[in-house]
Amino acid sequence: MTIKADGVPKGFVPVMLTPFKDNGEIDYPELARLTELYLEAGAVGLFANCLSSEMFELNPDERVAVTKYVVDVAQGRVPVVSTGTFGGPLTEQADFIKRIYDTGVEAVILISGLLADQHESDAVFNENVHTLFGLTGNIPLGFYECPVPYKRLIQPKQLHEFVQTGRLVYHKDTSLDLNAVKAKIKAAGNHPFGLYDAYMVNAVESLKAGAAGVSCIQGNFFPELIVWLCNNYDNSQLTEEVAAVQQFLTENMDVMHNVYPVVSKYFLQKTGSSISTFTRRYVGEFTSAIKQDIDKLHEQYLVLKDKCGIAPSVNI
């Protein structure tokens, strides 16, 4: 993933779901099957313990345990990254970064909205980041512009400064702005660093601009489709199919965000997964109308899959 250096293929890094039993406990056997599903689809890395994982609904020990479990299941086949900052004094955040890194992850991800308050300046944010760098040795780090507790976007000038330290190897971009993505890629230069775009509306153009890949919730519906797009975005013989995939993802953006991640777990059930739709975080009611929308999405996907010649993911 790297975490991208020259010669490493662009690819899909899923923001992993956390499967729960219907009583709310983490379902580790299902997490193993889900991890294999991502890998079977062709993911080049795994982002465990993220917002899609309901990381804020996990306690600290669960965050470490989930991360370690994914690392163990992956067995080095792909690199794993995981969130390591959850607010509080920087010394405490540094200590938890070390706990996450000790699980065997490739890099630990910093939540940009938890490194400075919303009213604080970029200068304060930058100072806090450099303080964390100093408190965490040589641990490789990354940023995630998570929308919770608020979305703090990192500017290209800031990214350039952090990449120059050699510590920053990963950035999950949620700016929804193609020009900003291009500017950040340019700011990073030739350092061993990868920007992964979360916004599938811009996926093809981001990949053409030099993004290392994509890291999106749509991969929790049909990971094999996102892998296919990463592999074929610039294939001149598949221009029509690539455009169809991009249009499908764009047109269904709202459907896939509605009461997410419940809807993605339901979609996975339709593909043969035994994952429960239980979530610890209340995201709204999963109504019959929303269910019908996902049923329709599944039907549309089957048609698109055939059009593109995409093999379905195999549930382990």
- Terminal CA-CA length for the chain: 23
Nearest in space to 109 (alpha carbons), one of 79, 151, 133, 141 = 141
CATH (domain of 95): 3.20.20.70
Question: Is the residue at 88 inside a domain?
Answer: yes
Q: How far is residue 1's CA from residue 46's CA, in Å, rounded to a whole number?
A: 9
User: What domain range is 92 assigned to?
Assistant: 11-237
Tell me how crowded residue 276 is: count the other CB atoms within 10 A of its CB. Answer: 17
Say if residue 119 is exposed, middle or buried (CB neighbours under 10 Å; 0-12, 13-18, 19+).
Answer: exposed
Question: Is the residue at 140 inside a domain?
Answer: yes
> What pLDDT is attached to residue 89?
96
Residue the block writes with tokens 């221009």: 239
Q: How far is residue 29's CA from residue 206's CA, in Å, rounded to a whole number?
A: 35
Question: Is the residue at 177 inside a domain?
Answer: yes
Tell me how crowded residue 40 is: count the other CB atoms within 10 A of its CB. Answer: 17
Question: Is the residue at 298 inside a domain?
Answer: no
Query: Mean pLDDT over residues 143-166, rounded?
Result: 96
Amino acid identity at 203? A
Given a contact cutoff of 8 angstroms between Cβ atoms, the answer to whether 141 and 133 are in contact is: yes
Q: In percent, how much of the chain has pLDDT > 90?
A: 93
Question: Is the residue at 253 inside a domain?
Answer: no
Query: Mean pLDDT over residues 99-126, rounded?
Result: 97
Encoded tokens for 157:
């000038």
Per residue in 93-111, pLDDT tens?
999 999 999 999 999 999 9
Total number of domains in the chain:
1
Of 21-35, 184-198, 265-279, which gets the smallest average pLDDT?
Answer: 184-198
Nearest in space to 226 (alpha carbons), one of 142, 315, 306, 305 = 305
Query: Mean pLDDT over residues 138-144, rounded?
Result: 97
Q: Is the peptide bond before 149 cis (omega within 30 degrees of 0)?
A: yes
Question: Is the residue at 24 inside a domain?
Answer: yes
Question: Is the residue at 144 inside a domain?
Answer: yes
